[in-house]
Amino acid sequence: MGIESKRQQRFAGVIQQDLAELFQREGNSWAPGAFITVTKVRVTPDLAIARVYLSFLNTKTAKEDLEQIRKKTTEIRFKLGTRIKNQARIVPQLEFFLDDTNEYVEHMDKLFDEISKETRQPD
């Protein structure tokens, strides 16, 4: 994806903030027990599609939780629309993706720990 315009970045920020508040309030009904964070939002140049990256904490079933949220996309989009109706002409289609950056970081940390624990061979 190319460089985003200021307009795209500003609109993505509005969506990210409002979705974060929605997930904070109602996320437990969509993914029980999980703490959901909106890590990133990317918006197409025509502002018609918003790609939302979610991170799930306190859950072992992040992929299943993501599927539950995808099933509720229409409901989430409607609730988002009521929040941003004065700031946007159209409510973008929402596409949800799993942001597994935290898992990747944890995996890399474990690898580095294992490497540092190995006995050093003299050169």
Q: Where are the domains of the chain?
A: 6-117
The region of weakest confidence among 48-52, 65-69, 85-89 is 85-89
Give yes or no for residue 2 having a pLDDT over 70.
Answer: no
Mean predicted confidence (pLDDT) in 92-121: 80
Are the C-beta atoms of residues 43 and 50 closer than 8 Å to each other? yes
pLDDT, one tens digit per residue, over 16-62 is 999 999 999 988 888 888 888 899 999 999 999 999 999 888 778 88
Q: How far is CA 92 from CA 46, 65, 114, in A?
A: 9, 22, 45
- Lookup result for tokens 């974060």: 20
The helix (run of H) or strand (run of E) holding residue 87 is none
**Rounded to an integer, what distance in angstroms lies between the CA atom of residue 37 and that of residue 52?**
10
Q: How far does CA 32 lie from the centroid of its chain?
A: 17
Q: CA 20, CA 96: separation in Å to the nearest integer? A: 13
3-state secondary structure of 97: strand
Q: Can you tell me the distance from the alpha carbon of 50 to that of 115, in angstroms, rounded to the nearest whole number?
A: 40
Q: Tell whether the model's pLDDT for residue 122 goes beyond 70.
A: no
Of the candidate ranges 5-19, 33-47, 108-122, the one whose mean pLDDT is the lowest? 108-122
Q: Which CATH number fits domain 6-117: 3.30.300.20, 2.60.40.10, 3.40.50.300, 2.40.170.20?
A: 3.30.300.20
